[in-house]
Amino acid sequence: MIAVYIIIGIVVIILIIFVMTYNGLVRRRNQVKNAWAQIDVQLKRRYDLIPNLMETVKGYMKHERETLEAVTKARNLAQQVASAGAGARAKAEGELSSALSRLLAVVENYPDLKANQNFLALQEELTSTENKISFSRQYYNDSVLRYNNQTQMFPSNMIASMTGFKASEFFEVTVATEREAPKVSFT
């Protein structure tokens, strides 16, 4: 009789562990999805800011047609490939980032523009949006790391493979200028 109770007890404990691990996996996976959506939100925000920015700087930057056109072109291209694959998209977004930073670099030559309140506000928004894009990617990668750890580490990997949880892919920066040397520490 006691043996039966012990067996029932063990089965119940295993079930509880199973359910908790499964729910943990679902939570992590949702976190990854959510983080991915957050990147989109910030990228869209950047598309919306650019026409405003162009409108403001146009009057001041008469001699920077090429720089301005490069930004507009990069923006339109990025918006077009928004629904395409991740690789093409990352490339287009990277080009938009570098076109924008080129534009902000030449602003130095236009003291009138630098004193314009409207422009200053836009510049703050743009800087912050760039930061938010980076931070949302960073959070996405952090979430993927947590999720992947759980799908690959014992014992949760058993439940993950049984119920079809697959490891997610990290967001990788494809533009050479944006890439940083990887730092891996083994302590």
Partner 1 sequence: MMWEQIRSNQMRSVILVIGMGALLVLLGYFLGLYFFDSAIGGLVIALAVWVIMSLFAYFQGDSLLLSMSRARKISRDDHPRLYNVVEEMKIASGLEKMPDIYIIDDPALNAFATGRDPSRASVAITSGLLQKLNRDELQGVIGHEISHIKNRDVLLMAMCSVLLGTIVILAWYGSRFLIFGSMTGSRRSSSSGGGGQAQIIILVVALVFMILAPIMAYLIYFAISRKREYLADASAALYTRYPEGLASALEKLGASTGQLKSANQATAPMYIVNPFRKKGLKASDLSSTHPPISERIRILRAMAGNSFSDYNQAYRQIHQGGKGIMPATAEIAVGVVPLAATKPEAKVEEPDEMQRARENSDLMWRLNNYKTITCDCGTRLRVPPGFKEPKITCPHCGREHSV
- Which positions lie near partner 1, rule CB under 8 A? 31, 35, 38, 42, 101-102, 104-105, 108, 114, 121, 123-125, 127-128, 130-132, 134-139, 141-146, 149, 170-171, 173, 177-178, 180-187
Distance of closest approach, residue 41 Cβ to partner 1, in angstroms:
9
Please list, in sequence order, all residues whose beta carbon lies within 8 angstroms of the beta carbon of residue 132, skipping any fewer than 6 positions away: 42, 45
Distance of closest approach, residue 5 Cβ to partner 1, in angstroms:
30
- Based on CB atoms, which residue is closest to partner 1, 54 or 107? 107
Distance of closest approach, residue 80 Cβ to partner 1, in angstroms:
24
- Based on CB atoms, which residue is closest to partner 1, 65 or 170? 170
Distance of closest approach, residue 174 Cβ to partner 1, in angstroms:
12
